[in-house]
Amino acid sequence: MARITAGVASSHVPLLGVASDFDKDRDDYFGPIFAGYDWTREWEKAEKPDVIILVYNDHASAFDMKIIPTFAIGCGERYKSADEGWGPRPVPDVEGHPDLAWHIAQSLVLDEFDMTIINEMDVDHGLTVPLSMMFGKPDAWPCKVVPLAVNVVTYPPPSGNRCWALGEAIAKAVDSFPEDLNVQIWGTGGMSHQLQGPRAGLINKEWDNMFLDGLIGDSDHLRRIPHIEYLRETGSEGIEMVMWLVMRGALGKKTRALHRHYHVPCSNTAIGHMVLRPDNGEGLDMTGSETVSAIAAE
Amino acid sequence: MITEDPKHQDIHEYLAEFEDIPGTRVYTAARARKGYHMNQFAMSLMKDENRARFKADERAYLDEWPLNEEQKEALLARDYNRCLDLGGNVYFLAKLFSTDGIPFAEAVSTMTDMSFPEYREMMMNGGRSPEGVRSIRANAASSGETNEGAR
Ligand SMILES: [Fe+2]
């Protein structure tokens, strides 16, 4: 059976894609940001996930104002990198997993999440930047991807509680997929940033780190943070962090942190990154090195 | 499993709170309606041929869209705060930033009271602190308390 073995959270600032594409990722400005992902790149090589369920948002690329799905799942065979006004990023096509994606979509609808199904679309920096951060610049991405797009642009976006519950339902759906698959779920976007108005440039290190802390362990208090708090405390675009809660919700009652990274600034944004393991007695270590401690911790 | 019944949120109260955040225009349905054509215009700049036509004659290109005069003027002037007031959204307006060939952060800085170098400097120093920019109401109350005059 398929199972979710880990959760990864990461900012998806477009400038990180530019840095990667133009080999600026180790310069003075970007070096400290990318250094925080070195651990994860090695870890991903050992984990070898088959599929990533990648929770992200589209930034006026595949979706314009004509149609605004709150939750949409990509069930297509493959996705091309979107032209966001500078030409498409020179990254490999993203290969989908239609069998798993359709299985999740159907299960979610039965579970009363009224999903929008996408069969064809281009994917923008929201999806391709996290892949670059975690995998570098391979000729082909090392795994398949199920895109899960969340509306965090037009208000109201879904509540944190709803995002968390969606994550729980996704985990259930993955569990009932018959094929043996090592599945990770990634939550992307954030952390604090505001890209508009006289208050632009807002960063809240304290709040961001409170949020990172809250992802670890068995507390679920983050799901009850109202939108107004994200707006006031983390800037108008900090609301993207609700997408991290889909990831967290899918990891079950308890998690432990394997890796954590925080850096200010990247352009207008605070970079946050975390790798989490579900910690509910599953013994989910894919590398073989942590199994003993995972079981001992029970 | 939901451990606590989330309280039903009243949409009027929900929206009213957004107006209490200093220097921020939350992209509500009301703004999205007002700015529909402005954002769809910006979206059209994703295509090379449209960018070329826009650059050749901005006014003529804008006249093809059902925009009001105020919206056209705000776009021509690259007055992005005004664009936000008239329903523009920053992710859509970003298509205009890239048509102009200016970095996202530079366009963002024009909405603040800082020059781009000053804005960049602020970001390098950890960004804008949330201190004092959380709530218009709270600011008014505290300036009342300390008698520092109204803002
Ligand atoms: Fe984003």
- A87: confidence class by pLDDT, cuts 50, 70, 90: confident
CA–centroid distance, residue B144 to ligand 1 (Å): 38
Q: Is the peptide bond before B122 cis (omega within 30 degrees of 0)?
A: no
State the nearest Cα–Cα gap between B143 and chain A, in angstroms. Answer: 19
CB contact under 8 A, A268 and B123: yes
Residue among B96, B44, B49 at smallest CA distance from B66: B44
The count of C-alpha atoms lying within 13 angstroms of the C-alpha of B24, restricted to the half-sphere facing its C-beta, is 30
Distance (Å) from CA A182 to ligand 1 centroid? 26
Q: From the centroid of its chain, how far is CA A240? A: 10
Which of A162, A199, A209 has the most B C-beta neighbours within 10 Å, making it the best mutation to test the interface with B?
A199
Strand, helix or coil for residue A258: strand
**A266 versus B8: which is more confidently predicted?**
A266
- Mean pLDDT on B52-60: 98
Q: Which residue of A has its CA nearest to B79?
A: A197
Distance A12 CA to ligand 1 centre (A): 6
Share of chain B above pLDDT 70, in %: 91
Whether B36 and B73 share a structural domain: yes
**High-pLDDT (> 90) share of chain B, %:** 86
CA of B19 to the centre of ligand 1 (A): 23
Residue bearing the bigger pLDDT, A67 or A295: A67
B3, B89, B108 ranked by CB distance to A153: nearest:
B89
Q: Does domain A42-80+87-182+211-259 have CATH number 3.40.830.10?
A: yes
Count, residues in chain B: 151
What is the three-state SS of B118-138?
A: HHHHHHHCCCECCCCCCCHHH
| Predicted local confidence at residue A94, as pLDDT | 98
Among B1, B2, B78, most A C-beta atoms within 10 A, so best to mutate, is B2
**Mean pLDDT, all residues of chain A:** 94
For residue B131, is pLDDT > 80? yes
Q: Do A84 and B98 touch (CB under 8 A)?
A: yes
Assess B101–A contact: CB distance below 8 Å, yes or no: no
Judged against a pLDDT cut of 80, whether residue A289 lies above it is answered with no
ipTM of predicted assembly, 2 dp: 0.91
The answer to whether B25 contacts A14, with C-beta atoms less than 8 Å apart, is no
Q: Assess contact for A157 and A99: CB atoms under 8 A.
A: no
**Are B65 and B122 contained in the same domain?**
no
pLDDT value of residue B77: 98
B46, B70: one domain = yes
Whether residue B18 lies inside any domain: the answer is: no
Is B90 in CB contact (< 8 Å) with chain A? yes
Q: How confident is the model at residue B146 (pLDDT cuts 50, 70, 90)?
A: low
Left (φ > 0), alpha (ψ -120 to 50) or beta: where does A142 sit?
Answer: alpha
Rounded mean pLDDT, A178-185: 98
Are the beta carbons of A215 and A9 closer than 8 angstroms? yes
Mean pLDDT of B32-45: 97
SS3 content of chain B, % helix, strand, coil (to 5): 60, 0, 40
Name the domain count of chain B.
2
- Domain borders along chain A are 42-80+87-182+211-259
Q: Which of A66, A84, A153 is closest, CB to CB, to B27?
A: A153
Confidence band of A245 (pLDDT split at 50, 70, 90): very high
pLDDT for residue A290 is more than 70: no
What mean pLDDT is predicted for residues B124-145? 93
**Residue range B11-33, pLDDT digits in tens:** 999 999 999 999 999 999 999 99
Q: Which residues of A are catalytic?
A: 125, 193
**Ligand 1 center to A1 CA (angstroms):** 32
Does pLDDT of B145 surpass 90? no
B24, B46, B122: best to mutate for the A interface, most A CBs within 10 A: B24
Q: Calculate how far, in angstroms, residue A145's C-alpha sits from the geometric centre of ligand 1.
A: 18
pLDDT of residue B144: 76
Q: Rounded to whole angstroms, how far apart are CA atoms A220 and A215?
A: 8
Q: Are residues B62 and B93 in the same domain?
A: yes
Q: Decide if pLDDT at B149 tops 50.
A: no
pLDDT single digits (tens) A107-166: 999 999 999 999 999 999 999 999 999 999 999 999 999 999 999 999 999 999 999 999
Residue B8, domain member (yes or no):
no
Give the predicted TM-score (pTM) of the model: 0.94
* pLDDT higher than 60, residue A287: no
B107 and B96 both lie in a single domain: no
CA-to-CA distance for A136 and A121, rounded, in angstroms?
23
Is B27 close to A228, i.e. CB distance below 8 A?
no
Q: Would you say residue B64 has pLDDT above 60?
A: yes
Say if residue B51 is in the same domain as residue B68: yes
Res B147: pLDDT: 52
| pLDDT of amino acid A70 | 98
Q: Which of residues 49-78 of B touch A (CB under 8 A)?
A: none
> pLDDT band at residue A86, thresholds of 50, 70 and 90?
confident
Nearest to B27 among A66, A155, A267 (CB): A155
What is the interface size between A and B, counted as CB pairs within 8 Å? Answer: 156
Residues B89 and B32 reside in one and the same domain: yes
Same domain, B108 and B84: no
| Domain limits for position B118 | 103-131
Are B14 and A65 an interchain contact pair (Cβ–Cβ within 8 Å)? no
**Between chains, do A153 and B26 touch, taking CB under 8 Å as contact?**
no
The tens digit of pLDDT for each residue in A203-215 reads 999 999 999 999 9
**Average of per-residue pLDDT across A218-226:** 97
Question: What average pLDDT score do residues A34-42 get?
Answer: 98
